[in-house]
């Protein structure tokens, strides 16, 4: 499945009554909530001794992807274009791959 196919399939489950503004708000809140669920699973594993559940973590990451697709759709931007923009930004920031020194200097700018 391509990223564009994912966005199209995922958005077939979107509430059609939502406006673009509603979609963007829903996406922002949903990303926050689902990211919190990812963090909570890891916290419970590392801090409370729960078994690591990679399947559940993957499901939560899928929910993050859904809300990311919703935000892209609300902005009328292909999710693939957003991911491509991110890679281009990372390449500018770390042209030779991640470098701790460049990261530290970047934070002080």
Within 10 Å of residue 5's Cβ, how many Cβ atoms? 10
Instruction: Enter the pTM of the model.
Output: 0.88
As a whole number of angstroms, the distance between CA 74 and CA 71 comes to 5
- Residue 107: per-residue pLDDT: 62
- Residue 105: per-residue pLDDT: 83
Tokens of 13: 């489950």
pLDDT in tens, 3-29: 999 999 999 999 999 999 999 999 999
Region 94-106: mean pLDDT is 87
pLDDT in tens, 50-96: 999 999 999 999 999 999 999 999 999 999 999 999 999 999 999 98
36: enclosing H helix or E strand: helix 20-48
Contact present, 91 and 78 (Cβ < 8 Å): no
Going from N- to C-terminal start, the domains of the chain cover: 3-108
Q: What is the CATH number of domain 3-108?
A: 1.10.287.1080
Q: In 3-state terms, the chain is what percent helix, strand and coil (to 5)?
A: 75, 0, 20
């Amino acid at each position: 499945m391509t990223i564009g196919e994912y966005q199209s399939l995922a958005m077939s489950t979107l509430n059609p009554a939502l406006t673009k503004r509603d979609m963007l708000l829903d996406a922002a809140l949903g990303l926050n909530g689902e990211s919190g669920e990812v963090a909570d699973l890891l916290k419970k594993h590392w801090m409370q001794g729960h078994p690591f559940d990679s399947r559940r973590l993957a499901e939560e990451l899928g929910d993050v992807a859904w809300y990311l697709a919703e935000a892209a759709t609300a902005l009328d931007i292909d999710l693939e274009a957003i991911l491509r923009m991110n890679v281009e930004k990372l390449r500018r920031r770390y042209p030779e791959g991640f470098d701790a020194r460049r990261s530290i200097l970047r934070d002080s700018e």
